[in-house]
Chain A
Amino acid sequence: MGRSRTDLLVFIAKRLAVLPFVLLGIIAITFFFTHIAVRNPCASWIPHAHPGALQNCINYFGLNQPLTTQFVKYLSSLAAGNWGIDPLGGQPVAPVILAAVPATIELVLASLFLMVVIGIPLGVIAANSNGRWADHLVRVLYLSGWATPTYLGALVLAVIVGPAVGLPSGGAYTTSTPPFPQPTHFSVIDALLAGSPSGVADAFSHLILPATALAFLNMGIATRMTRSSMLEVLPLDYVKTARMKGLSDIFVVYKHALRNSLISTTTVLGITAGSLLSGTVVIEEIFRWPGMGDYAFNAITSYNFAGTIATVVIFALGVVIANLVADVLYGVLDPRVEWR
């Protein structure tokens, strides 16, 4: 229990050791939920089907077996690396999902960047002018973001703001597939690798609106946390000391006070990962962003169970890893924290 490198590694190892159990729990919950709630998805997969065809479908997917048997079968095929197939298209879900993951990560990272670059300074400004109009303005601003339903903000950005300022609001490129190879599936990185400046500009302009929508709606979390932890730090003696030493106000606020209050902001940003990932479901649907959220939505609503479980697991993995990274960063930033 200390702060050595070994302690950190033990801490991370302990957290990762729990991960398989969490994932197993998530798989079990999602599996049983979907399979108990919808006993016969064949009828919705093939509407108006001949009874014989329905029976074939049930036999093919093993839906007439006991649920536990189905679950064990699913787990063993998962262990063999087979994530199941999409009953509507007939292809395996894994390659489709894995190709969609980078697009979602790109979207989330872009909006995280916006949240940090815009949200944190706003929080500092609010705390610094505590109780005055700038504080009230910032509070109204971030609470507005919080109170705007994701889909409404995204719709307004896509339908009204996008055309007004001339930014594209659908897909990741102007053409459905870019004229260059996609080794990484990160749209901007692919364009950079292909060395086409017009491709980079195209990919970048397509990223702006969805990332802004996602960031605006979650920015409040960063701003609110920065504001409240700045409020805690500003009256402390070391800040007063820094001021008394004659340091400039900006220097004191950004170098001394903000550095300390960023500790809690980092943790909160890690926790927003879940909220950001949830947001991608709606935002990708509206902006036709070719990511996981879009896929998850279609999989869930078309009773594509294999796809549903796989996307839910990947989303959950994202949340757990983001929380772990936030915890580790918290410890790295705050020298008082001991790894345990």
Chain B
Amino acid sequence: MPAAIPTEEEASPLPDLPPPTPAPVVVRSPRAPWSSAVIGFLRVMRANPLTLAGFVLVVIICVSAIVVAAVPPLTQLLLGHALAATPYDPNMPTAALHQGPSFAHWFGTDELGRDMFSLVLAALPLDLAIGLSVTGFALIVGSGLGLVAGFWDKPRTLGGAVSTVIMRVTDVFLAFPSLVLALAVAATLGRSIFTTVLAVMVTWWPYYVRLTRGEVLAVKNLPYVTAARASGVSEVRILFRHVLRNILEPLTIYYTLDVGTVLVTFSTLSFVGVTGSITTPEWGQQVEFYQGLLPFYPWTVLAPGLAIFVTCLAFSLLGDGLRDILDPRSRRALIQAAQPSTLPAEVPAVAARGGGGAGA
């Protein structure tokens, strides 16, 4: 509300005069911009229950990750489980080993009697951080290169040359199947979680270059950019204020969808064993570690698998829903589909007589 007040004062610089007939100026919403964004977001969420589910899951996952990372003792207290691996007790009654899922042990216990839910939860902060950081790196590097390559691509200039080099290098990286390249990088750099993250980062940015460049090319010659340039706005300012802002939407969607994909890719690398030995809890390693137990105690494998699945699904649902809503073409289709047209149902009886034969 307060944000709107100065705007209204500016709009009427001569308060003494009786206001003329109101000009047909679009009346600004009295709400602050963020509040209209929130309302739009809520409308979006209400329209699509799956997107809402994805959003709620993402929030729950992120909050639990923060809580687990920040205050492990608190989580232990809340859950009543030892969060980290409980030490092996040789005198433990064997009935306590490999229990199926129950109220006391939500995901069951492994062959040493450790609570699977705690093990899976303990790995959450690391896995989520990997997903967010790899995509974040790819977004910054890839989109940065894509912006440059798309914006300064006039042939026979320095920018054009740089743009060509960027795109040729990107083409080479895009031709690699990413998992194979990441596997090669991770295996040769030495086996650790850090090198594996590095390997995924090395393979991940080219997609963002191509996406961003395409979007920039679509936007940069639109009339409003030409108008900004004609009114003397500097190129760099045009790039950031006018071009980048208008391509943020597809980038956001892609980023959201991509967090889950990175997580799955990373856990694949960790499953095949390029992250080294199991010292830090990580979901892919847990699946690998317990895979021999799958026919006998399936919950030991399915618990970390389910964690990856749910995390990836949550981000995918959110991103998929955002795409439907933010992409104007899909949005138009959704709106039209939401208003069932009675035309096709009623007209055929008439039309069939008129020109029905021409259809085939």
Interface string of B306-332 (1 = CB under 8 A from A): 001110110011001001100001101
Q: Is B177 an interface residue (CB 8 A)?
A: yes
Q: Is B142 an interface residue (CB 8 A)?
A: no
Q: Bound state CA distance, A312 and B187, in angstroms? A: 14
A148 touches B309 (CB 8 A): yes
Q: Interface stretch among A53-61, A71-79, A111-119, A234-242?
A: A234-242
- A35 — nearest CB in chain B belongs to which residue? B188
Known: A139-B50, A235-B333. A151 touches B287 (CB 8 A): yes
Q: Bound state CA distance, A279 and B268, in angstroms? A: 10
Q: Which residues of A contact B50 (CB under 8 A)?
A: 136, 139-140
CB of A130, distance to nearest CB on chain B (Å): 4
Q: Is B294 an interface residue (CB 8 A)?
A: yes
Q: Interface stretch among B104-112, B117-125, B131-139, B340-348?
A: B340-348
Q: Which residues of A contact B333 (CB under 8 A)?
A: 130, 231-232, 234-235
Most buried by A among B168, B317, B337: B337
A37 touches B172 (CB 8 A): no
A29 touches B344 (CB 8 A): no
Most buried by A among B169, B179, B358: B179
Contact of A22 among B175, B329, B355, B358 (CB under 8 A): B175
CB of B124, distance to nearest CB on chain A (Å): 16
Q: Which residues of A contact B301 (CB under 8 A)?
A: 152, 155
A131 touches B334 (CB 8 A): yes
- A285 — nearest CB in chain B belongs to which residue? B272
Known: A33-B184, A37-B188, A136-B49. A251 touches B359 (CB 8 A): yes
Q: Bound state CA distance, A245 and B49, in angstroms? A: 36
Interface string of A123-165 (1 = CB under 8 A from B): 0000000110000100110011011111110011001100100
Q: Is B4 an interface residue (CB 8 A)?
A: no
Q: Bound state CA distance, A14 and B261, in angstroms? A: 33
B359 touches A235 (CB 8 A): no
Q: Which residues of A contact B336 (CB under 8 A)?
A: 234-235
Known: A245-B358, A282-B271. A320 touches B175 (CB 8 A): yes
Q: Which residues of A contact B281 (CB under 8 A)?
A: none
B348 touches A155 (CB 8 A): no
B356 touches A282 (CB 8 A): no
A130 touches B176 (CB 8 A): no
A231 touches B330 (CB 8 A): yes
Q: Is A30 an interface residue (CB 8 A)?
A: yes
Q: Which residues of A contact B316 (CB under 8 A)?
A: 143, 146-147
Known: A37-B189, A143-B317. A149 touches B352 (CB 8 A): no
Known: A152-B287, A155-B291. A246 touches B272 (CB 8 A): no
Q: Bound state CA distance, A244 and B267, in angstroms? A: 52
- A148 — nearest CB in chain B belongs to which residue? B309
CB of B339, distance to nearest CB on chain A (Å): 10
Q: Bound state CA distance, A150 and B269, in angstroms? A: 11
Q: Bound state CA distance, A155 and B168, in angstroms? A: 38
CB of A324, distance to nearest CB on chain B (Å): 11
Contact of A235 among B261, B267, B332 (CB under 8 A): B332
Q: Is B274 an interface residue (CB 8 A)?
A: yes
Most buried by A among B260, B271, B295, B329: B271
- A230 — nearest CB in chain B belongs to which residue? B333
A152 touches B305 (CB 8 A): yes
Q: Is A38 an interface residue (CB 8 A)?
A: yes
Known: A143-B320, A155-B287, A246-B356. A26 touches B175 (CB 8 A): yes
- A129 — nearest CB in chain B belongs to which residue? B337
Q: Bound state CA distance, A301 and B176, in angstroms? A: 18
A33 touches B188 (CB 8 A): yes
Q: Bound state CA distance, A318 and B180, in angstroms? A: 13
Q: Bound state CA distance, A152 and B272, in angstroms? A: 12
Q: Bound state CA distance, A171 and B272, in angstroms? A: 19
- B271 — nearest CB in chain A belongs to which residue? A151
A231 touches B337 (CB 8 A): yes
CB of B275, distance to nearest CB on chain A (Å): 12
A139 touches B177 (CB 8 A): no
CB of B336, distance to nearest CB on chain A (Å): 4
CB of B261, distance to nearest CB on chain A (Å): 8
Interface residue ranges of A274-325 to B (CB < 8 Å)? 274-275, 277-279, 281-282, 285, 296-297, 300-301, 303, 308, 311-312, 315-316, 318-320
Interface residue ranges of B148-191 to A (CB < 8 Å)? 168-169, 171-181, 183-185, 187-190
- B51 — nearest CB in chain A belongs to which residue? A139
Q: Bound state CA distance, A47 and B179, in angstroms? A: 28
Q: Is B144 an interface residue (CB 8 A)?
A: no
Contact of A151 among B187, B268, B334, B348 (CB under 8 A): B268
Q: Is A224 an interface residue (CB 8 A)?
A: yes
Q: Which residues of B contact A319 (CB under 8 A)?
A: 174-177
Most buried by A among B178, B355, B359: B359
Q: Is B264 an interface residue (CB 8 A)?
A: yes
Q: Is A228 an interface residue (CB 8 A)?
A: yes
Interface string of A184-203 (1 = CB under 8 A from B): 00000000000000000000
- A18 — nearest CB in chain B belongs to which residue? B171
Q: Which residues of A contact B334 (CB under 8 A)?
A: 130-131, 231
Report 12 cross-chain contacts, Cβ distance below 8 Å, ordered by A residue. Answer: A146-B316, A155-B301, A232-B333, A235-B333, A246-B348, A247-B359, A251-B359, A277-B177, A278-B177, A281-B180, A281-B183, A300-B184
Chain B interface residues (CB < 8 Å from chain A): 48-50, 168-169, 171-181, 183-185, 187-190, 260-261, 264, 267-268, 271-274, 284, 287-288, 291, 294-295, 298, 301, 305, 308-310, 312-313, 316-317, 320, 323-324, 329-330, 332-334, 336-338, 343-344, 347-349, 351-352, 355-356, 358-359
Chain A interface residues (CB < 8 Å from chain B): 18, 21-22, 25-26, 29-30, 33-34, 37-38, 130-131, 136, 139-140, 143-144, 146-152, 155-156, 159-160, 163, 224, 228, 231-232, 234-235, 240, 242-247, 251, 274-275, 277-279, 281-282, 285, 296-297, 300-301, 303, 308, 311-312, 315-316, 318-320
- Apart from A22-B175, A146-B261, A316-B176, list 8 A-B contacts with CB within 8 A: A37-B190, A136-B50, A139-B320, A152-B287, A240-B344, A277-B177, A285-B272, A301-B274
